[in-house]
Structure 1
Amino acid sequence: MFTDKKNVLELISLLKAHSIEHAVLCPGSRDIPIVQGISQFSDISCYSITDERSAGFFALGIILSLKKPCAVIVTSGSALLNLHPAVAEAFYRQLPLLIISADRSAAWIGQMDGQTVHQTDVFHSLVKYSGTLNEIKDDTDKWMCNRVCNEALLALTERPFAPVHLNVPIGDPFFSFKENCLPAVRVINRLLLSDLDKVIFKHRKIMLVLGQNDIDYRLSESEKEALAQRFTVYCEHIGNAHCAKFIYAGDGIFQSITNHNTNLHPDLVISLGGHIVSKQLKQFIRKIECTHIAINDDGKIYDVFTQLRYVIKASFQDAINYLCRIDNIKNDLHASKFAFSLDPKKTVIPYSQIGITKSVLTKLDFPCCLHLANSSTVRYASYFKLPPFISVYSNRGVNGIEGSLSAAVGAACAIPDLLHFILIGDLSFFYDMNALWNVQLKQNLRIILFNNSGGEIFAALPGLTLDERSSKFVTAEHQAKGRLWAQECGFKTYEVTDNDGFLKIFDEFIRNDNTNKFMEVITDKTKDIDALKIFKAQLKLKANLD
């Protein structure tokens, strides 16, 4: 029988799955659910040591003799602090010591309750990983608990070795042992790039997701063709691998796929590169049953789809070279089933932010750099195709409104012989307007400021209803204009208030004539939201027709 504490069950199941074979158990009350569970297994050798100071070094002796990791389990409070000397020794000798500490519920820490100290990150720089297995109350808690435990156990066995600490809060009451068996849990493993083909050949519906790619290796046309022949490839503009055979507009596609349409559900997702913009793609993959393999430079766990099973440590270029060489892949998930798109010439969008975004992107038919600010700008741009000779950049690392303009200015200064366009909303622009107060400015910047007097994207959030008073604060309404500041900084400026005005000046705006230029597109928030709804309705209709 086992405890009914779900975080403890997750921990014990994963200790078994990751082949932890030795555990030093220290007496106490709070760690009883952990000690009782571990002691049930004959394939985990258990050792009872009362003094935690001795227990830590006892575990080190096991590690040194058997050349295998060893866990030491302690109760809450000062018991954990007594492991400090052994943890320090293990760190400086690069030994895989696993520290598992029972803890009180977070609500009681620092409240003068018995046997409580701040146990999270107590070892600071002496461990290579420190995580907390929070008590499980819902599916998100369970996913996080599973991920953190997998992360810790993978870190434990990866060179260079070092101690790893898992803190396990256990609330009252905790003496109930009514579970007959351990639950089935997700196990995340490391995989060599050379073994990836073995996993691929076990699946028949394979999607390759290419994330943000700023400074890494850029795909050749032959490599794009090779990938398209083998996989269904999803790649947004910030992936900088534009290809007619790739899927690129996640929010325009995956929102229309139902749970019943399983022929469009991949059973294997391979991700490579950085961040993904599309929320719909993330939600789509999170809801289906599939295996996710993440390939990245650092070999860390990035479980954005909540389906991660394998992590491969490899460079972007090595991974692409390998994927392009795998032959005889049988993939029944064809990109053509996803690849509906609207013909820009036939798509009528009223004058609005998304309408002008479409007009700008469909007219960029020459080599240049395109910078997309957060948040609506980068999302709107994702709906429209771009030619392969345009490089796209966006601050998607933390997705903040700060710094988009500064990053574009820096890029333009570094490559002065190429035009740099930035599409930016009003809040992002005014937040970062000092980027133009810069003596290093070249004459190759083209700034398109979308000004609708506030943060329209916040008002457009699905399911959100705001009264007039709260709307002013949520959307940060204002009456500021950017043109005068741009003029002060030496830009030639334009103001656009309708489609005709845009068409009248755009050819002059994009002309490379050794002058920085600034276009302020004045729109109305309400009409921007209505135009977005019209556009999405056209997308949905197109998807249903296809």
Structure 2
Amino acid sequence: MNEREILTNYVYKMVASLMQNGVEDVVISPGSRSTPLAYAFASTKNISIYRQVDERSAAYFALGIAKAKAKPVVLLCTSGTAAANYYPAIVEAKYARVPLIVITADRPHELREVGAPQAINQISLYGERVKWSAEFPIPDDAPMTLPYVERHIARGVSIATTAPFGPVHFNVPFREPLLIDFQEELPKQTFRNSLVGQIAPSQQAKELLTAVINETQRGFIIVGELALGTDLQQMWAFIRKLKWPVLVESLSNLRTNVPEDCGQYIVSTYDALLKSSIFKQQVAADTVIRFGAQPVSKFLTNFLTETLPTNYIVIDEDPMFRDSAAVSTHFIHTAIGEWISELSIENTVFSEEYLLKWRTSEELAAKHIQSYQEIEQDEGAVVRFLIENLPDNSDLFVSSSMPIRDIDTFLLPTKKDIQVFANRGANGIDGVMSTAIGFSEARKEREMYLLIGDLAFLHDVNALIATRYQPCKLNIIVFNNDGGGIFSYLAQSTVKEYYEDLFGTPTALSFADVAQMYEMEYMGIEDFKEVNKIMEPQKNPLRLIEIFTDRQQNVASHRKLWQRIQQELEQ
């Protein structure tokens, strides 16, 4: 067997193994050293290929697809700094628990650390930011090479899709020549299937949880962003059975599609309510049960650290459970499943007055939020308008910093089919647009909107390169307040020296020319009275809506809202 045949068999074995283990999508950035695998993927039927020349953007694009599908997605790049550019998205995938299969092509061993071009040390390149890393052998005709490749791919995909989900890394060296013979049929697999188990609670854990619930007089549930693929119907069944207040973050997607018989338990305005010291004293709890990640709200975290519930139970699929405030008293290692609706809950001591306090306070705050856009004309008012007018069957991807906080403030419970997503693993503003574009590619049957600030847009403007290689449909709504709006709410804003230089960081840029460069429909809005244009029918699959706002006005308007709610709470 000659070298070309050996290389051909090797790369098609990789492709066959990936598909055998559930991979449906591959994002490729062009490069020479990755040529054999790129050819193999491109010539294989029944696998979707996406292209993005900017590797940092490509990695976030893949993350968006994986996030939308809750399935592993392959990333492929050449050697050198191309691989290093994947790093930010891999960090996000690690902490957001998203399954990525990162394949970096590499120089052969004899060209490493000897001054060869485009060669860096890629072994364990991503360190602890991946769940597992493997160095693949040079393609050869040794009897154990292809079985090794086949089973290592099965291991890698299993690791990536075992709770908690996360990225894995395969470093694959190739010698020149890099050409292969195209094949119509993939090789047969000797390893047939890898079945991943489900995490269920022990009997002891269920008994503990049941006992605590049945003895609780004052308690509430917190639901943050949940693991990919979580069956929300199981959560609704538990809420229906427990009948406690449920503080739901927007990213939990329990504020939308709310069942009729569960609406009375949902609390969405907790961030505004917990700004009141009097209210915090009134709702201090004996027991708190948290599912998913810790919510965005700093005031909720402060409330927990100040009141220290007797029982704070964290339910998580990762033994490294998340508890940044160090207030947990119990941890249950499990995924959400049917077990939560099968608990023997017979709580006869729970305080109806406690539930009523949360319910009436939620209604009070919601009244002010619903009327906000009639009083104020700022980013919050636009967010409220957007939420009220988004059509059913819509996805809203939200940037970090102020956009996600505004969604958390202004998204009230609704029966509409709207789902909210964000990159909150590492809470960065880089790669947001790329993730949203990838996400929209995986959910083409739904309307897709992206809400983002001007700095986050600039961070990831290369994301739009992907739209030149595959059709994309997306509404991008940019709040252009000429800088970092979130810092205006922080202590740094009280120190006038250097504030604008170091934190405000105005750029004096607008984005009409970006829209023109990528042949996007563009709309600029400078007057709040024109905000209804957001919901006009798209003339182009890609639309950029730039809304010009004022940072100081935003701060003043938001604080007025919180003051109005607090004053009425404390009357």
Q: TM tier, shorter chain?
A: 0.5 to 0.7
In 1, distance between residues paired with 2:229 and 2:445? 22
In structure 1, the partner of 2:302 is 283
Out of 183, 192, 196, the residue aligned to residue 205 of structure 2 is 192
Aligned to 1:172: none
For the 8 Å contact 1:275–1:396, the answer to whether it is kept is: no
1:490-523 Cα shifts (integer Å, max 9, x gaps):
32010000111212x2231xx3666221100001
For residues 532 and 489 of structure 1, the distance between their equivalents in structure 2, rounded to whole angstroms, comes to 35
1:375 positional shift: 0.6
| CA distance, structure 1, for counterparts of residue 463 and residue 513 of structure 2 | 15
Given residue 365 of structure 2, which amino acid in structure 1 is its aligned partner? S
2:211 is paired with a residue whose SS is helix
Choose the corresponding residue for 2:359, options 321, 336, 340: 336
Distance 1:488 1:224 in 2: 49
Q: Distance in 2 between matches of 1:417 and 1:336?
A: 36
Cα distance change, pair 526–514 in 1 and its aligned pair in 2 (3 A): closer
Q: Which amino acid aligns with 2:446?
A: L
Alignment of 1:61-80 (within 5 A): none
* Contact map agreement 2:394 2:446 (CA 8 A) in 1: yes
From the superposition, tell whether residues 426 and 349 of structure 1 become closer, same or farther in structure 2 (CA, over 3 Å).
farther
Specify the code of the residue in structure 2 equivalent to 1:396: R
1:476 to partner: Cα distance: 1.2
Aligned with residue 252 of structure 1, among 259, 268, 272: 272
- Gaps of at least 5 residues in structure 1 are 1-123, 126-188
- AA matched with 1:288: T
Q: Which of residues 443, 455, 459 is equivalent to 2:484?
A: 455
Give the Å deviation of 1:397.
1.0
Q: Is the 8 A contact 1:492 1:516 kept in 2?
A: yes
Q: Separation in 2 of the partners of 1:351 and 1:441?
A: 37
Tell me which residue corresponds to 2:333: 313
Q: Are 2:305 and 1:292 equivalent residues in the alignment?
A: no
Q: Distance between the aligned counterparts of 2:432 and 2:348, measured in 1?
A: 41
Q: Is residue 302 of structure 1 aligned with residue 329 of structure 2? A: no
- CA deviations on 1:170-196 (whole Å, 9 max, x unpaired) are xxxxxxxxxxxxxxxxxxx99613431
Compared CA separation, residues 475 and 402, structure 1 to 2 (3 A): same
User: Which residue is 2:371 aligned to?
Assistant: 346
Aligned residue number for residue 265 of structure 1: 284
- The question of 1:393 aligning with 2:421 is answered yes
Percent identity over paired residues = 22
2:518 maps to 1:494: no
- Cα separation, 2, equivalents of 1:538 and 1:416: 41
Q: How many residues align?
A: 355
Alignment of 1:127-206 (within 5 A): 192-206=205-219
Deviation at 1:386, TM superposition (A): 5.0
CA gap of 1:407–1:190, structure 2 versus 1, over 3 A, is farther
Q: CA RMSD in A?
A: 2.8
1:402 Cα deviation from its structure 2 partner: 0.9
State the one-letter code of the partner of 2:541: T
Mapped partners of 1:293, 1:367: distance in 2? 34
Aligned equivalents of 1:228, 1:255: Cα separation in 2 = 30
Question: Aligned partner of 2:243: which letter?
Answer: R
Over 3 Å counting, the alpha-carbon distance change for 1:494 and 1:192 in structure 2 is same
Structure 2: which 5+ runs fail to align?
Answer: 1-126, 129-201
Q: Could you say which structure has the greater relative contact order, defined with CA pairs below 8 angstroms and 6 or more residues apart?
A: 2
| In 2, Cα distance between equivalents of 1:316 and 1:225 | 10
Change (3 A) 1:458 1:527: same
Aligned counterpart, 2:395: 369
Alpha-carbon spacing, 1:415–1:442, altered in 2? closer, same or farther (3 Å): farther
Deviation at 1:223, TM superposition (A): 2.5
The CA deviation at 1:461 is 1.1
Distance 1:514 1:387 in 2: 29
d(CA) in 2 for partners of 1:296, 1:437: 38
CA contact (8 A) 1:292 1:310 kept: yes
Distance 1:361 1:530 in 2: 22
Between the aligned partners of 2:560 and 2:375, the Cα distance in structure 1 is 7
CA deviations over 1:252-300 (Å, ceiling 9, x no partner): 11111438x6441111111111231111001001100312111111233
How far did 1:305 drift? 3.8
Structure with the higher fraction of residues in helix conformation:
2
SS at match of 1:446: strand
Q: Cα deviations across residues 351-385 of structure 1 (Å, max 9, x unaligned)? A: 22122111111212422101110111100111221
CA spacing shift, 1:530–1:224, aligned 2, 3 Å: farther
Query: Per-residue CA shift, 1:69-128, capped at 9, x if unaligned?
Result: xxxxxxxxxxxxxxxxxxxxxxxxxxxxxxxxxxxxxxxxxxxxxxxxxxxxxxx99xxx
Match of 2:97 in 1: none
Equivalent residue, structure 2, for 1:517: 543
Structure 2 residue 380 is matched with structure 1 residue 327: no
CA contact (8 A) 1:349 1:534 kept: no
Distance 1:329 1:483, change over 3 A: farther
- Partners of 2:235 and 2:249 in 1: how far apart? 19
Which AA in structure 2 matches 1:351? Answer: Q
SS of alignment partner, residue 278 of structure 2:
coil
CA distance in structure 1 between the partners assigned to 2:400 and 2:302 by the alignment: 20
- Give 1:363's aligned amino acid: N
Deviates more, 1:354-363 or 1:454-463: 454-463
In 2, Cα distance between the equivalents of 1:398 and 1:279? 16
